[in-house]
Structure 1
Amino acid sequence: MNIKALRAFRLTLHEGSIAKACEKLHLSQSAVSRLISSLENELHLELFHRKGRRLIPTPQALAFHKEAGRILDNLEEIRHIADQIRNDQIERLRVLTMPRIAPSLVSPTAQRFMSMQPDVHLILDVRTRRDAEQWLVGREYDLGIGVLPIEHPDIQTEVLLKVRAQALLPKGHHLLSKSSISAEDLSDEPVIALLPGLLLRTQLEDFFHSAGIQKNFSCDVASSQLACHLVADGAGITIADALTANIVDQSKVELRPIVPERWMSFGLLYPKHNELSEAGKRFVEYLKEDIQSLVGENTLVEGK
């Protein structure tokens, strides 16, 4: 694929006109137009509509840019990365984490790694569970940390800890008088769930189905963090884990374990056939040491 064509597409999209893209690319308008046309032919997509002197990106163009955004970002860094590698300036460690554990589990280890390994440049990205598979298989990252299980022939995993699923309730809720929460307890309560198809949504549906309850959720959200914030604001109840629930003001919420017991697994993801660098091994070592402090009634560390 022509890198110049990709750059022409991106600049035209951002600038809103070929003329402005031409200025930054130092090319003629006809040259930029040809690059965009060649990209459209290669992708079999219509990328722009003309409206007077303006170019309006099509829905296909926006969708392509959204999905290919990371690749396009990396294209801009290729020369800089090559210079650093050639000059042996710095070692890089690319770590991918999932949103649910980025603040509570990964951030403390990242801070420790940065202080202990100042000669290594840490690149820490946050991706959804679905996206994580794609980026790891594509070797975009050296190491992933997130929710398990993930079953992919090109990804190997290692469970680090299991956290008990709990109901997160707003302070003062009448169910806080109970030491544990069942599906029956929540049958008439407003429950906030993740979007259909997400792992935690599937687990939540199974929790109610196993109790013979057809539950209509009060709200579907895209992330566990948002669900927890809604609980803190008094919008309802959600099922989460202590790692995720810690992101909200603890003076506004309380946790109660659900029954029967259900556990959520978190761990490491590696691209298969890709040897982890010494920097990556040190990051994993720090992460495993930090996890030891999480051992408790509702958290089990593997191997302990």
Structure 2
Amino acid sequence: MNLRQIEIFRAVMLAGSVTDAARMLHVSQPGVSRMLSHIELQLGMRLFERGRGRLRPTPEAQALYAEVENVYRGVRRIEDRARELSAGGGLTLRVLASPSTALEVVPRAVAGLAAAYPTARVYMETQLVREMVGQLVRHEADIAISTLPIDHALLASEPVGSWTLACVFGAGHAFAARRSVRLREVMAERLIAFSADTPQGRLIDDWWRENGLAPASQIEVRSGQAACALVACGAGVAVVDDLTARAWAGERLGFAPLARPPSFGAFAVTLASAPRSRLANDFVARVKGAFRAVRAAA
């Protein structure tokens, strides 16, 4: 960026609109608009989101502006920072993931992101949906991958994939030879069930009722991983999400899809008031790719 571009960029950041920036610099509005578009094209990244006559700076623009304020100490420093941001350097991404997505889908996306942006820092944490909302609203995380829809006035959700239900059973079980298992067949087994007050438990119970069934269980759990651990120890069979079932499948535990299972969405959730960073957009794209890979392997 040259000195003129830096001046216009700084004016737009301060004024919040092309009209006010042009007035501040005593130049024409079209001239400022053309220069702003040229800057974004030259840098290869979006600096502002346009809407209702105002310009909302992206995280990249905010980071660049912090350096522009030091412009009189050297234009070269500004240019170096712009190139760094274009490559994702100096940025961080704090990721929350539902337990089932944290087993394979999100780790795949994080691994790919870290390889593509070696100077960026990524923090990943497994979290329940009710905790995700608070951390996002308090700016303690940048993005969450949730296996349940989140309806909150301050948050925005984007579909990134889907999951379904599967039956998990111990190695050598008769279900191992089956391509799918019917609900009535599951009822005939010793069933390990989710507690009714858990989100997944409510979803599964609703599906049982839709099929006119009311299974009884001796053991209840609050997570798919706990259910799989019990199944692997011979405690019975369980109905869990297919993401957890795939991650646990091995010598001690097998799984089979349920016949005509329901499908549920997974979502990327962020603050509605702030544009996503380039790093976050790339991460979402990689999560979508990881879900597609899981589906293709089914």
Match of 1:247 in 2: 247
Residue type at the aligned position of 2:289: E
Match of 2:204 in 1: 204
Seq. identity, % = 22
Distance in 2, matches of 1:228 and 1:127, equals 19
Q: Secondary structure at the match of 1:284?
A: helix
Describe the shift of the 1:181–1:291 C-alpha distance in structure 2 as closer, same or farther (beyond 3 A): closer
Residue type at the aligned position of 1:219: I
- How far residue 212 of structure 1 moved from its aligned partner, in angstroms, is 2.6
Distance in 1, matches of 2:275 and 2:206, equals 38
Match of 2:192 in 1: 192
Describe the shift of the 1:184–1:291 C-alpha distance in structure 2 as closer, same or farther (beyond 3 A): closer
Match of 2:99 in 1: 99
1:52-67 counterparts in 2 under 5 A? none
TM normalised by structure 1 equals 0.63
Distance in 2, matches of 1:275 and 1:170, equals 46
Q: For structure 2, which runs of at least 5 residues remain unmatched after alignment?
A: 1-65, 71-80, 82-88
| Residue 148 of structure 1 pairs with residue 148 of structure 2 | yes
- How far residue 162 of structure 1 moved from its aligned partner, in angstroms, is 1.7
Contact 2:196 2:205 in 1 (8 A): no
Distance in 1, matches of 2:274 and 2:251, equals 45
Distance in 1, matches of 2:263 and 2:135, equals 26
Match of 2:171 in 1: 171
- How far residue 245 of structure 1 moved from its aligned partner, in angstroms, is 1.6
Describe the shift of the 1:289–1:261 C-alpha distance in structure 2 as closer, same or farther (beyond 3 A): closer
Q: For structure 1, which runs of at least 5 residues remain unmatched after alignment?
A: 1-84, 299-304
Distance in 2, matches of 1:248 and 1:291, equals 17
Distance in 2, matches of 1:177 and 1:279, equals 44
- How far residue 128 of structure 1 moved from its aligned partner, in angstroms, is 0.8
TM normalised by structure 2 equals 0.65
- How far residue 251 of structure 1 moved from its aligned partner, in angstroms, is 2.0
Distance in 1, matches of 2:257 and 2:281, equals 34
Q: Secondary structure at the match of 2:104?
A: helix
- How far residue 202 of structure 1 moved from its aligned partner, in angstroms, is 0.8
Q: Secondary structure at the match of 2:105?
A: helix
User: Which has the greater radius of gyration?
Assistant: 2
Contact 1:165 1:258 in 2 (8 A): yes
| Residue 214 of structure 1 pairs with residue 214 of structure 2 | yes
Aligned residues: 214
Distance in 1, matches of 2:289 and 2:177, equals 36
Q: Secondary structure at the match of 1:251?
A: coil
Runs (4+) off by over 4 Å: 85-89
Describe the shift of the 1:295–1:258 C-alpha distance in structure 2 as closer, same or farther (beyond 3 A): closer
Match of 1:269 in 2: 269
Q: Secondary structure at the match of 1:280?
A: helix
Distance in 2, matches of 1:245 and 1:107, equals 16
Match of 1:62 in 2: none
